[in-house]
Amino acid sequence: MNKIISGIALGLLFIMLSACSSAPQRLQISSEVDALATNEAQSKRRFVILPGNKDINPQDLQFMEFKGYVEKSLLNRGFIKVEQMQDGDAVLFLNYGTGEPQLRQYSYDVPVMNNFGYYPYYRPYRYYPSMTYGYTQHTETYAVYKRYLTLEAYDMAAYLQQKTPIQLWKVSVQSQGQSNDLRLIFPYMVTAMQPYLGTNTGHMLTVKVDETNLLLKDISTGNPNRLPAPSPMPLP
């Protein structure tokens, strides 16, 4: 009877562990945020966003989508978007991208089973298969990508007059992970940087954002330039 009860208990434990391991994991992105700002940063809040990379067209669909996330976070912080550059007092340059993959390795032990194991007590001719007697080491290789986002603000008057650039503030965000899908990761990075727009963090901060974050949902759904995913095609 005790063996039956023990077997049932072990079976239930196995089912519970299997259910836990198969449960979907929430996506969480950890970002490093570093912000710097001058004393005039908070007084110049009427902005226009331009590409930080000269090779990016302002009408590029990816840039427009990413700019929409940044604009929403700026509006949440009390900044004011203007349509004409002469109506603004700050021009913002947005730059982003992913680095080359960096290969990394990790090792783990796998148990090796002995198919001719034996019962530890003296019971003639009683053999029990699958007794563990050792381990073998496996090594796996995976790629890690660096994702980055930089937003720099400059004085608009000096920019329009083509004078020496006057930087007002700058915020840099970077994260590392196995995904190079920047469209997926970018809203998380924007969410991480929002509280520090136009401020000085004093040092680099680590900010974690998961998919249940309310600010992330606000920034994502409030982006007018976000292209919706297509509806699934009906089966023939």
Q: What is the pLDDT of residue 133?
A: 59
Question: Is the confidence at residue 218, as pLDDT, over 90?
Answer: yes
Beta-carbon contacts of residue 8 (< 8 Å; ≥ 6 apart):
none
Question: What integer best gives the mean pLDDT of the chain?
Answer: 84
Round to whole Å and give the CA distance between 110 and 45: 58
Q: What is the pLDDT of residues 20-71, one digit of tens each?
A: 545 678 899 999 999 999 999 989 999 999 999 888 999 999 999 999 999 9
Average pLDDT value for residue range 194-219? 97
35, 200 contact by CB (below 8 A): yes
Q: Which one is predicted more confidently, 27 or 102?
A: 27
Average pLDDT over residues 214-229: 91
CA dihedral 53, 198, 67, 179 (to 10 degrees): 80
CA nearest 28: which of 183, 188, 230?
A: 188
pLDDT: which is higher, 112 or 139: 139
Pairing of strands 90-98, 46-51: parallel
* Whole-angstrom distance, CA of residue 148 vs CA of residue 231: 30
pTM: 0.76
How many alpha carbons lie under 13 Å from residue 25 in its C-beta half-sphere? 5
Find the range with the poorest average confidence among 28-42, 170-184, 220-234.
220-234
Least confident of 52-66, 96-110, 113-127, 181-195: 113-127
How far does CA 25 lie from the centroid of its chain?
Answer: 14
Average pLDDT over residues 144-161: 96
Of 115-119, 211-215, 231-235, the range with the lowest mean pLDDT is: 115-119
Are 164 and 198 in contact, with CB atoms under 8 Å apart? no
Integer Cα distance of 191 and 220 in angstroms: 9
- Give which of 225, 229, 145, 223 is closest to 191, Cα–Cα: 223
